[in-house]
Chain A
Amino acid sequence: MLPGLTKSAINKLGERLARDDVPSDEDLRLLEQVRNAFDAAMEGVQTVLRERLHLKPNARLKTVTTLVEKLKRSKSRLSTVQDIAGLRVVQAMTLVEQDALVSRIAACFSGAQVVDRRAKPSQGYRAVHVLVQFEGLAAEIQVRTTDQHMWAQAMEQFADDVGRGVRNQGAAAIVGDDAQSELHRHFFALMQRASAVFASFECVEAVHAALRAIGNSETDLALALADVVQTAGQRVGNDMAKIRLETAALQRANESLKMVKP
């Protein structure tokens, strides 16, 4: 719980942060009280993951800039924002292993909620989030495969260039009809396709791993499945090769426009 601050006071603070162009020193210090409480909860969650599951999650409090953006964008009340405290676990793993890891994490926290953003990607973003409570305060644990993570980081970088609205509103957030805006839209579309191709690739990889685990490649079923996996893998490989070529072409075009920083 939050010592010394009522829910109403916290929500009023959120309203001021969303309304004012520049937060006052006083509001930043008030927000710090809220964030200190979340920091303690976040440290608690981090300790649970390290000691019980031997994971090495990174943790951070939502920055003032991103928190204010969220309050402005979603009209959320500050007291209900779920990801003020955020932790991240990134591992090279298949989708099946990701599911297993998510289950182990969720089992550590009573009432944990799993949000599978692979099933319903938002502007191409894929990951699994586990929402937990620690001593009455919310924390969000992002569980990503290496590929999901690399995609998300590339999109974050792109959003730094074109404006962070693109992460939530998609191409609609890229305004302008100049050559650079057009390239940005192409790039965004390419990232959406890359996300879909990675989703396919991860499915193929998971089936492939399952087949290896069965270790019975002599049965008709296993042979048939291996054939399907190989065909699907080739298709995904071809899709990725096309995206690579298009990205290279976009990057060449960008050199003059300086869209992508060296």
Chain B
Amino acid sequence: MKFAYYPGCSLKGTALEYEKSLIKVCKDIDIELLEIEDWNCCGATPAHQVNKYLAIALPARNIIKAEKMGLSLVTPCAACFSRIRFASHYLKDNRWREILLSVLGEEYAGNLESKHLLQIFIEEQIQQKIKEKILKPLSGLKVACYYGCLLLRPPEVASFDDPEHPTAMETLVHLLGGEVVEWNFYNECCGASFALSNPQAMENLVYKILLDATFSGANCFMVACPLCHSNLDTRQVQVNKHFKKHFSLPVFYFTQLVGLALGYPPKELGLYSHLTNPMGVLER
């Protein structure tokens, strides 16, 4: 399967290990990713606070580039996914389309399919591929699947699974031989956008997520978004200090867990760059 790949800026910065792991894993299971040439920022999240046209025009440019490649667009970042889906949604509206295309000076047929990488991983055929190549099933991992908000909402834009009770990640964890933990806060807000402006609000939200996951018996998280990751992974120290707790729940990208199951050593999947050390959980 071949896709036009839109990495987004996080995967070239704070989430290098996400890209590192996904490139390895995708190669193994015959997902060919062709990076869109000269891609630009998708605008998440500041653009739509500033200018509604800019917020759509930025991802629209990438969409048009992908369409020219004749491939469906795939992105591993939930925030990019959301902006891209929004832009495709607006491009279906003739009034928006006219304005956007005249600003961009481009043509667009309007047929581009855009997906999140996770959706590709749970396609029948890819699941089969993964199954064939599993070397080290993830036994011992009790995974709390965390979807966050942008992957699912708003449902008419995202069209990803059941927005209130999604099961895509759970399907993948089962496939990898891990244990899925039944918990409650799989699609609650983690407060990432308040990280700088109101850290207290963010800490409260992260605390609730950590508490419920721990309470439900999870020993790690699985995520599909660099923003979820950075918030859950890097804020645990802060939350522990503030609430006088000792949370230590490593946060994995789904591609890292697939990589582990396929037998890659943790180092090759960038697992040493996480702030909440995953090695303890992995050794168990």
A binds B: no
Query: Using a CB–CB distance below 8 Å, which chain B residues touch chain A?
Result: none
Query: Using a CB–CB distance below 8 Å, which chain A residues touch chain B?
Result: none
